[in-house]
C-alpha cells in the first residue's frame, strides 16, 4: 500500500494518530483529506483546516451495507418502517457510510419507473451515499432488452431475483433470461434462494392442521429448500456462465453447496447477515408472540447451525456480511392479535445500526477475525462486487474519505431506545458488545460524533456503480456448441 511523502500540502481535514486499517494491514498513520477524498496517507502530515485526534482509536473504512430495505414501495399493503431519512441515519450512526437498498419491481410494473420513483424518495432524505439494486420481478422482453441495459448504463449494475414470494418469484426459464442479460451487460445477479414449492406445500399442510404457531414459520421454510434452491441457482448460472451471489445464506447446507461450487472454480459468491450468526430458531419459538421480532426469511436455524455459519465467514465461503435490514413495527407484525398465524407476520428484522458492532465484538475482539478481514467483509468486498470500488470500501488515496473511528474497548448494551431507526424494536435487545463506532466521516465531513448527529438529510448522493464484470458480447457459449 502506497504511503504519501508530503512536505507542503493543504488539507481540509487531517485525522491524526489512529490505527488505520489498510488492505495490507493496520498502520499508525495520518489521513489527509481534500475535497471529500483521501489525498494523503503518511506520518506527520501538514496541518489541515480541521484536525481530529484518533489516538487510541481504530480507523476503518466506512461500512458498505450492500443489502438493506428502506422506503420500499408498499408490499402486501405494508411499507417499511424506515424511509431514506431514518434508515440512512441509523446506518451512519453504526459506522456505515454507503448503503445499497432495492428498487423493487412487481409483476406488471415498469422497472424504469420504479427506479425513477426510488430516486425521488432518496435524494432529499439520505444522510449518506447510496446506490440501488434492481429487483426484477417481471422480466418482460422490454425490461430485458431495454430497461435493464439502460439502467445499467445509468449506474444500477446489480439485479436481484427471487425463487420464492408471490408476485416476485421467477421460474427457471425467466431466471435464465435474466442471467443471459446480466452476462451481456456485466452485472451481478443476487439470488434469494429458497424452494418455493416446499414452502407452499408445507404451509398449506400446517394451515390445514391448524398449526399456526410461530415455530411453524421455521419448519415451513426448510433448510433442504435452501440447499436445493442454492444448488439450482448455481447450476443455472453455470449454464449461462454468469456470476451470482447467494443472498442472506442461513444454513450450513447452503454454505457447503457454495463451497463446492467455488472449489470447481465457479464465480459464485455468498452473503450472510447478523440474524444467522446471533439468532436461532429458539428466538422465534416463544410462548407469546415476541418471537415475531425475529421472523425473517430464510429464518434463523438451530443454534447448532451457527458454528458452521461462522466457519463459512472465516474461510471466505461467505465473502459479504450485510444487514438485510428490513424494518417493520412489532405492533404491525402482530396486528392480528395474540392468535396471529405465522403466515401473517411480515418477514424481516432491523439491523442496519447494529451490524458492525455485533461482528466486531464477536469476531475481532475474540481474535477470530483480523481487522483487515473485518474491513473486507463489511466494506471492501461488497464495494468491489457491486462496482463501487475503489471509490468506496477501502482507505486508499483517491477514495472518498468515508471513515469510521472505533473505540475497540467500549462496552455497549444494545437497547432499542439508543438506536436511530424508526421501528419500535431490535431483535438484539439486551445483548452486550465490546467495540463501537464513535465517529463517522462521510466524504470528509464528520456526520456522527460520539452521540451527536451533525448530518442533514439530503446530503447523501447517488453513486453511479460501474459494471462489476466485463460485458460479454454474443450469445451464451452453450448456444455455440
Domain with residues 11-61+396-453, CATH architecture: Roll (2.30)
Q: What is the pLDDT of residues 156-180, one digit of tens each?
A: 999 999 999 998 999 999 999 999 9
d(CA 165, CA 176): 18
d(CA 452, CA 30): 24
The answer to whether the beta carbons of residues 131 and 155 sit under 8 Å apart is: yes
Q: Which residue has the cell 491524526?
A: 16
CA-based nearest residue to 37, from 388, 317, 444, 311 = 444
The answer to whether the beta carbons of residues 15 and 30 sit under 8 Å apart is: yes
- Read off the C-alpha cell for 144: 430485458
pLDDT for residue 76: 60
Residue segments in the chain with a per-residue pLDDT below the cut of 50: 1-3, 5, 7
pLDDT for residue 2: 47
**Angstrom distances, CA of residue 210 to CA of 201, 203, 206, 217, 241:** 14, 10, 6, 13, 45
Q: What is the pLDDT of residues 321-353, one digit of tens each?
A: 999 999 999 999 998 898 899 999 999 999 999
Average pLDDT, the chain: 96
Q: Model-level pTM? A: 0.96
- Identical topology for domains 11-61+396-453 and 63-376: no
The answer to whether the beta carbons of residues 331 and 81 sit under 8 Å apart is: no
Q: Which residue has the cell 436461532?
A: 280
d(CA 465, CA 91): 20
d(CA 332, CA 289): 12
How many other β-carbons are positioned within 10 Å of the β-carbon of residue 164?
21
CA-based nearest residue to 226, from 244, 204, 206, 246 = 246
d(CA 400, CA 249): 30
d(CA 99, CA 479): 38
For 63-376, CATH gives 3.20.20.140
Q: What is the pLDDT of residues 260-311, one digit of tens each?
A: 999 999 999 999 999 999 999 999 999 999 999 999 999 999 999 999 999 9
d(CA 25, CA 20): 8
Give residue limits of the domains in the chain: 11-61+396-453, 63-376
pLDDT for residue 356: 99
The answer to whether the beta carbons of residues 444 and 465 sit under 8 Å apart is: no
Long-range contacts made by residues 112-116, C-beta under 8 angstroms, separation at least 24? 112/147, 112/150, 112/151, 114/73, 115/151, 115/156
**Angstrom distances, CA of residue 290 to CA of 8, 139, 143, 279:** 60, 38, 41, 14
**Angstrom distances, CA of residue 17 to CA of 32, 287, 426:** 12, 51, 35
Amino acid at each position: 500500500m502506497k504511503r504519501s511523502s508530503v512536505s507542503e500540502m493543504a488539507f481540509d481535514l487531517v485525522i491524526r494518530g489512529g490505527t488505520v486499517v489498510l488492505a495490507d494491514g493496520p498502520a499508525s498513520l495520518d489521513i489527509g483529506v481534500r475535497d471529500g477524498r483521501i489525498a494523503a496517507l503518511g506520518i506527520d502530515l501538514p496541518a489541515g483546516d480541521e484536525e481530529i485526534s484518533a489516538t487510541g482509536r481504530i480507523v476503518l473504512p466506512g461500512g458498505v451495507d450492500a443489502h438493506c430495505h428502506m422506503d420500499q414501495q408498499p408490499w402486501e399493503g405494508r411499507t417499511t418502517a424506515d424511509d431514506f431519512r431514518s434508515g440512512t441515519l441509523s446506518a451512519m450512526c453504526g459506522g456505515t457510510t454507503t448503503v445499497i437498498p432495492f428498487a423493487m419491481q412487481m409483476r406488471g410494473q415498469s422497472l424504469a419507473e420504479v427506479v425513477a420513483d426510488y430516486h425521488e424518495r432518496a435524494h432529499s432524505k439520505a444522510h449518506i451515499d447510496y446506490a440501488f439494486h434492481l429487483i426484477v420481478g417481471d422480466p418482460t422482453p422490454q425490461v430485458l432488452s431495454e430497461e435493464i441495459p439502460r439502467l445499467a448504463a445509468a449506474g444500477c449494475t446489480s439485479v436481484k431475483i427471487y425463487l420464492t414470494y408471490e408476485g416476485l418469484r421467477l421460474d427457471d426459464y425467466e431466471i435464465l433470461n435474466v442471467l443471459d442479460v446480466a452476462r451481456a451487460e456485466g452485472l451481478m445477479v443476487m439470488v434469494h434462494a429458497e424452494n418455493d414449492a416446499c414452502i407452499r406445500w408445507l404451509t398449506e399442510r400446517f394451515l390445514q392442521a391448524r398449526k399456526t404457531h410461530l415455530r411453524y414459520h421455521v419448519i415451513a421454510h426448510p433448510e433442504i429448500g435452501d440447499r436445493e434452491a442454492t444448488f439450482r441457482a448455481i447450476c443455472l448460472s453455470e449454464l449461462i456462465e454468469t456470476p451470482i451471489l447467494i443472498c442472506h445464506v442461513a444454513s450450513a447446507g447452503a454454505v457447503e453447496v457454495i463451497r463446492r461450487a467455488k472449489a470447481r472454480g465457479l464465480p459464485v459468491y455468498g452473503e450472510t447477515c447478523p440474524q444467522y450468526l446471533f439468532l436461532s430458531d429458539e428466538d422465534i419459538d416463544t410462548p407469546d408472540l415476541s418471537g415475531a421480532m425475529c421472523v425473517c426469511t430464510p429464518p434463523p436455524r438451530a443454534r447448532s447451525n451457527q458454528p458452521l455459519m461462522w466457519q463459512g465467514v472465516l474461510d471466505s465461503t461467505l465473502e459479504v456480511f450485510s444487514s438485510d435490514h428490513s424494518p417493520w413495527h412489532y405492533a404491525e407484525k402482530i396486528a392480528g392479535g395474540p392468535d396471529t398465524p405465522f403466515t401473517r407476520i411480515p418477514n424481516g428484522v432491523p439491523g442496519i445500526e447494529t451490524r458492525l458492532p455485533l461482528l466486531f465484538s464477536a469476531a475481532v475482539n475474540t481474535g477470530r477475525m483480523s481487522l483487515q478481514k473485518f474491513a473486507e467483509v463489511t466494506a471492501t468486498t461488497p464495494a468491489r462486487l457491486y462496482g463501487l470500488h475503489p471509490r468506496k470500501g477501502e482507505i486508499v488515496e483517491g477514495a472518498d474519505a468515508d471513515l469510521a473511528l472505533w473505540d475497540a474497548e467500549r462496552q455497549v448494551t444494545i437497547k432499542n431506545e439508543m438506536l436511530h431507526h424508526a421501528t419500535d424494536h431490535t431483535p438484539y435487545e439486551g445483548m452486550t458488545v465490546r467495540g463501537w463506532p464513535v465517529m463517522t466521516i462521510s466524504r470528509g465531513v464528520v456526520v456522527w460524533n460520539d452521540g451527536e448527529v451533525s448530518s442533514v438529510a439530503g446530503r447523501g448522493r447517488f453513486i453511479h456503480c460501474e459494471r462489476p464484470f466485463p460485458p460479454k458480447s454474443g450469445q451464451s457459449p452453450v448456444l455455440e456448441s
